[in-house]
Amino acid sequence: MAKKQFKSESKRLLELMINSIYTHKEIFLRELISNASDAIDKLCYISLTDDKVGLTRDDFKITIEADKDKRTLTISDNGVGMTAEELESNLGVIARSGSLKFKKDMDETADENIDIIGQFGVGFYSAFMVAAKVTVISRAYGEENANKWVSSGADGYSIAACEKDKSGTDIIIEIKENADEEDYDKYLQEHTLHSIVKKYSDYVRWPIIMDVTESRQIETDEVDKDGNKKKEWEDYTETETINSRIPIWQRAKSEVSDEDCAEFYKEKFFDQTDPVAVLRVSAEGLVSYNAMLFIPGVAPYDYFTREFKAGLQLYSSGIMIMEHCGDLLPEHFRFVRGVVDSQDFSLNISREMLQHDRQLKVIRTNIEKRVKAELKKLMENDIVKYETFYKAFGIQLKYGLANGFGMNRDLLADLLMFYSSKSEKLIPISEYISGMPEDQKYIYYASGENITILEKLPQAEQIREKGYEIFYLTDEIDEFVIRSLGKFEEKDFRSVVDGDLELESDEDKKEIEKQETDNKELLDFVRDSLDGKVAAVKLSQKLKSHPVCLAAQGEISLEMERYFKTMQKHQEGGGGMFGEMKAERVLELNANHPSFNALKESFESDKDKTKKYAQLLYGQALLTAGVPLEDPSEFSELVSTLLFE
């Protein structure tokens, strides 16, 4: 029989499939199953008004059968089938917009970008990713005759009449021989087929039937020493429906327990820990969809790496069309896992189409609102669970706030928590504010390497003595978060190392100013002794028992300097945009401390010693601030000289 030629654009798509280096070849099964499901939908619809169909809803099914000897995989349905003309027009030509678009995109992008196959409904032709030959036997509903379409690839196809006793379609795929770089045998193995169906087509509403091997214990004729018949394991084959059919997210809330949801989550997203919250969304309107979302309690091991793929699974009427749809989640909530199912999306959805899809934006905005509300609720009603969440993903919220330059401020601010000096645990900012004494004007914070350093920070003493609470910030990003926040409930934030904490009375301030004028020469001498390491030396208004502390003036704090330094280290070759970010250091001395008298006295008699004192005090200031000494051995020598000489 003469071979017919594929139309040129079909041929191109077919060649792409045949030579595909795409790693997820398995999606061919998803495509064929969804075609079968559509065909059943059509006949089921006809049967509503046409008694002659002779089938009820329960009779419809999709069957998968593998024959290892013949190397064939057969996908059969008892749906509406195709006439000879339909076989010709549906399978011989690309008539569909989705495939045409696919071809266009493939022309525009280089072949190495073949990964986009996974984003398209590439349809029937995807069978050629795994097939040496494809035979389609189909009988259209209402026709007596069946037809057989056969193709071994790009050289064409043939159509001939054949026998088939009922309407429907059998797709018989002759699986390619194993190649060095590709294992095709697996598409004949029961467990592979089973898991592909589970992965992509678990929620197809028609039953997907397959012979499954099970084991059972049977009695043998042999008898053991107690006279009992010995048992042995036996494999047997059972025809089973392998898909779950009704997705958990489409079941009524009353039918699904929290445990069911948690189990589903753990199995689907490979987590061993229960999620801290499950959200169910059922929306109708501009776009209708169901979603089941999970807020995990632990971060996946690769969460903070480039490997982590954020996004929700996107389903179209129970068929998975995208495994990680990033467009459904805002970046700051990228920890959320879950599924969105909407019949408003077709299988032929491309990444490009998705990016511009208004429907996706509507869903994303709604999901953002719901996740925010859920987290807020958790914070208010179950702080222990919220803390679990926050320890895993709090940093993500902080990045969301700092990276957006305050854009997401209103959304994220009240979800933040910081470590409180009073409660000695993480608390929300609103809790800090409600605990503020009446005379307290600011929200105080101290940032540094760890809580131990911060608890002993000389500058914090005075604030704590006044009974004020301090937020101890230990994440590098924290200072940026505070800056992005600006205010919270009309209260400004103030770092305890800030020059003026506005804690003193005007008289106290005047007194210090006077002392500064009186000691100007000494203070300038101390500054000059430090060889440009500090921009100024001042008398402190905030030190109580400590001799000295380090502060910063200008825009960049010491913490920010530390952060920039880390960033710079991460940048290849150093330098870069963070190269010049250095805090302007200020050394604050405690005029009421014996060290200041020593300074004064030596300044009268031994300037060389004053210089050493100045360097010692600067070193002490660095150490208490948690800033590494520039030259530790020099410092150690200095201490010895002063003590023992």
**Closer to ligand ADP by Cβ: residue 75 or 379:** 75
Q: How far is the CB of 61 from ligand ADP (least distance, A)?
A: 13
**Closer to ligand ADP by Cβ: residue 172 or 429:** 172
Q: How far is the CB of 195 from ligand ADP (least distance, A)?
A: 22
**Closer to ligand ADP by Cβ: residue 91 or 583:** 91
Q: How far is the CB of 127 from ligand ADP (least distance, A)?
A: 9
Q: How far is the CB of 237 from ligand ADP (least distance, A)?
A: 25
Q: How far is the CB of 321 from ligand ADP (least distance, A)?
A: 12
Q: Residue 74 is inside which H or E element, if any?
A: strand 72-77
* Strand ranges of the sheet holding 146-151, from the earlier edge strand across to the other edge: 157-162, 146-151, 131-139, 168-175, 72-77, 62-67, 208-223, 229-241
CA distance 23 to 276: 34
Q: How far is the CB of 126 from ligand ADP (least distance, A)?
A: 8
AA letter at 216: R
Per DSSP, helices labelled H in 19-74 are: 27-47
Q: How far is the CB of 26 from ligand ADP (least distance, A)?
A: 16
DSSP notation for 407-467: TTHHHHGGG-EEEETTTSSEEEHHHHHHT--TT--SEEEEE-S-HHHHHT-TTHHHHHHTT
Of 612, 592, 492, which Cα lies nearest the Cα of 547? Answer: 592
**Closer to ligand ADP by Cβ: residue 98 or 296:** 98
**Closer to ligand ADP by Cβ: residue 162 or 383:** 162
CB atoms within 10 A of CB 410: 9
b/e per residue 195-221 (b: at least 16 CB within 10 A)? ebbeebbbbbbbbbbbebeeeeeeeee
**Closer to ligand ADP by Cβ: residue 316 or 557:** 316
Given the structure tokens 């419809």, which residue do they identify?
A: 60
Q: How far is the CB of 343 from ligand ADP (least distance, A)?
A: 15
CA distance 599 to 614: 8
Of 437, 438, 509, 489, which Cα lies nearest the Cα of 467? Answer: 437
Of 473, 299, 498, which Cα lies nearest the Cα of 402? Answer: 473
**Closer to ligand ADP by Cβ: residue 122 or 360:** 122
The sign of the torsion formed by the CA atoms of 30, 33, 37, 38 equals positive
Phi and psi at residue 267, in whole multiples of 5°? -70, -45
Q: Residue 390 is inside which H or E element, if any?
A: helix 383-403
Q: How far is the CB of 106 from ligand ADP (least distance, A)?
A: 15
Q: How far is the CB of 196 from ligand ADP (least distance, A)?
A: 17
CA distance 471 to 283: 40
Q: How far is the CB of 34 from ligand ADP (least distance, A)?
A: 7
Q: Are strands 536-539 and 584-589 parallel, antiparallel or unpaired?
A: parallel
* Tokens (6 digits) for 98: 């989705």
Helix, coil or strand: residue 587: strand
**Closer to ligand ADP by Cβ: residue 126 or 624:** 126
**Closer to ligand ADP by Cβ: residue 140 or 587:** 140
Q: Which residue is nearest to ligand ADP (CB)?
A: 123
Q: How far is the CB of 250 from ligand ADP (least distance, A)?
A: 23
Q: How far is CA 481 from the centre of its chain?
A: 21
**Closer to ligand ADP by Cβ: residue 26 or 387:** 26
**Closer to ligand ADP by Cβ: residue 35 or 408:** 35
Q: How far is the CB of 77 from ligand ADP (least distance, A)?
A: 5
Angle between helices 358-381 and 383-403 (to 10 degrees): 140
**Closer to ligand ADP by Cβ: residue 123 or 619:** 123
Residues that bind ligand ADP (CB under 6 A): 31, 35-36, 39, 77, 79-82, 90, 96, 98, 121, 123-124, 169, 348
Q: Residue 374 is inside which H or E element, if any?
A: helix 358-381
User: What are the Cα distances from residue 489, in Å, to 226, 428, 443, 493?
Assistant: 81, 12, 10, 11
**Closer to ligand ADP by Cβ: residue 35 or 366:** 35
